[in-house]
């Protein structure tokens, strides 16, 4: 079980600039790299700096900054213009988007920017994502065949800070759900995702750039810790911030404790394009139509008198039990950080004795909520 003394002990020893040979600066334990220098590296040096990044994310501060990740600010500005256009269109609709770890409506949240940018402005998408340096960062943690997703977060002057947290996957759970996963799975889960952010505006400290707790990804029990009031107090006292300029990139281990900061400025609309870069390995070997299976077995399941344990086992074998991926516009965070899964729906249907037709209609509605458009 977690405890604060063990957590604090895990934060040491600290590293220094000498531990990051390719970094050009070091601030609040965070190594800072220069994008122009990185673009000039040969293949051998690229491999060395990628190993340095991976060590930082796993064993070091857990976070790094790349100045001038984009050397052409015009590329970032063109995408920013599209994001504002998409946010304006979204705001004309009656339903406002939910958010993770922040109150609904306090900022501008644009989900699935990857697809929306590609289908709205293909040239802007290509100019933005052809960046080899971005690909090198992704591959340093995940190897080839990674999968990108992105969301825009726009925090207005006066926007409140987020709650400190860890991120997707297990960050989007509650303590009871975390406890269902063996510790080795909790540790492994951080290897499946790299978090990143590209600054689409200058982000001085007063605008509330991300609050970070260096080295906090080291603590193995951290997914069950971050809601603890004692930890929240510790985070408030020890978290650091790294101001960014437009086109800079920030990349961190999803297990790093962090939170968007409070925007106390009077005139800065802080915009970031947030990345969740996912491992290729979180997929089953075969394509299986779980909903077809569920419908085929539904009447027999209703007629069977299974124990709770038997029903749970059968439902898991029949279902897409994990609720992600989903469409966060149609399936926004609400009372729970996790949307409904196919398994959740099957268990509910059996508990409430739905007809096969009712269950089939509910599955179609679930498909619609999860479809990207």
Q: Find tokens 């279902």 and name the residue.
A: 319
Please give the mean pLDDT across all residues of the chain.
93
Q: Is the peptide bond before 13 cis (omega within 30 degrees of 0)?
A: yes
What is the token pair recorded at 258? 């962090």
Residue 30 belongs to some domain of the structure: yes
Q: Find tokens 């268990």 and name the residue.
A: 347
Are 269 and 356 found together in one domain? no
Residue 150 belongs to some domain of the structure: yes
Are 216 and 305 found together in one domain? no
pTM over 0.75: yes
Q: Number of folded domains in the chain? A: 2
Number of Cβ within 10 Å of residue 302's Cβ equals: 14
Are 327 and 274 found together in one domain? no
For a pLDDT cut of 70, what percent of the chain falls above it? 95
Are 247 and 321 found together in one domain? no
pLDDT digits (tens, 9 = 90+) for 262-295: 999 999 999 999 999 999 998 888 989 999 999 9
| Structural domain boundaries enclosing 159 | 4-278
Looking at 246, 278, 310, the residue that finishes a domain is 278
Q: Would you say residue 147 has pLDDT above 70?
A: yes
Looking at 250, 278, 306, the residue that finishes a domain is 278
Non-local (6+) Cβ contacts of 329 within 8 A are 97, 111, 112
Residue 35 belongs to some domain of the structure: yes
d(CA 44, CA 48): 6
Are 265 and 296 found together in one domain? no
Of 173 and 140, the structure prediction assigns the larger pLDDT to 140
d(CA 326, CA 43): 37
pLDDT digits (tens, 9 = 90+) for 45-99: 999 999 999 999 999 999 999 999 999 999 999 999 999 999 999 988 876 555 5
Q: Average of pLDDT values for 296-307?
A: 96
H or E segment to which residue 258 belongs: strand 258-259
Looking at 257, 278, 299, the residue that finishes a domain is 278
Task: Output the CA angle 36-60-9, nearest 5 degrees.
Answer: 155
Are 310 and 274 found together in one domain? no
Are 359 and 213 found together in one domain? no
Predicted confidence band at 101 (pLDDT cuts at 50, 70, 90)?
very low
Are 218 and 346 found together in one domain? no
Residue 285 belongs to some domain of the structure: no
Q: Average of pLDDT values for 224-232?
A: 93
Question: What are the φ and ψ backbone dihedral angles of 14, each rounded to 5 degrees?
Answer: -90, 150
The string of DSSP letters for 57-78 reads HHTS-SEEEEETSSS-HHHHHH
Number of Cβ within 10 Å of residue 179's Cβ equals: 14
């Amino acid at each position: 079980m977690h405890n604060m003394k063990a957590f604090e002990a895990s934060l040491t020893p600290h590293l220094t600039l000498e531990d990051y040979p390719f970094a050009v600066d070091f601030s609040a334990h965070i190594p800072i790299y220069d994008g122009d220098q990185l673009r000039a590296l040969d293949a051998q040096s690229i491999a060395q700096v990628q190993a340095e990044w991976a060590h930082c994310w796993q064993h070091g501060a857990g976070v790094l900054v790349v100045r001038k990740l984009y050397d052409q600010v015009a590329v970032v500005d063109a995408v920013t213009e599209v994001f504002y256009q998409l946010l304006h269109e979204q705001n004309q609709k009656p339903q406002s988007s939910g958010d993770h770890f922040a109150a609904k409506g306090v900022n501008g949240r644009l989900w699935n920017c990857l697809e929306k940018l590609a289908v709205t402005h293909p040239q802007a998408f290509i100019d933005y994502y052809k960046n080899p340096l971005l690909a090198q960062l992704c591959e340093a943690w995940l190897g080839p065949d990674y999968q990108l997703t992105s969301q825009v977060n726009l925090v207005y002057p006066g926007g409140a800070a987020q709650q400190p947290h860890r991120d997707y996957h297990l960050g989007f759970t509650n303590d009871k759900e975390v406890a269902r996963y063996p510790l080795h799975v909790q540790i492994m889960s951080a290897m499946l995702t790299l978090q990143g952010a590209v600054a689409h505006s200058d982000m001085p400290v007063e605008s509330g750039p991300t609050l970070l707790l260096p080295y906090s990804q080291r603590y193995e029990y951290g997914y069950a810790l971050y809601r603890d009031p004692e930890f929240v107090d510790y985070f408030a006292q020890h978290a650091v911030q790294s101001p960014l300029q437009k086109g800079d990139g920030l990349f961190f281990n999803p297990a790093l404790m962090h939170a968007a900061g409070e925007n106390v400025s009077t005139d800065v609309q802080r915009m970031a394009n947030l990345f969740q870069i996912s491992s290729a390995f979180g997929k089953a070997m075969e394509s299986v139509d779980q909903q077809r299976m569920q419908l085929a077995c539904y009447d027999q399941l209703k007629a069977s008198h299974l124990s709770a344990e038997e029903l749970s086992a059968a439902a898991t074998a029949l279902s897409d039990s994990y609720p992600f991926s989903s469409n966060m516009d149609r399936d926004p965070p609400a009372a729970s950080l996790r949307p409904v899964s196919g398994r959740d729906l099957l268990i509910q249907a059996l508990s409430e004795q739905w007809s096969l037709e009712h269950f089939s209609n509910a599955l179609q509605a679930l498909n619609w909520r999860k479809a990207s458009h």
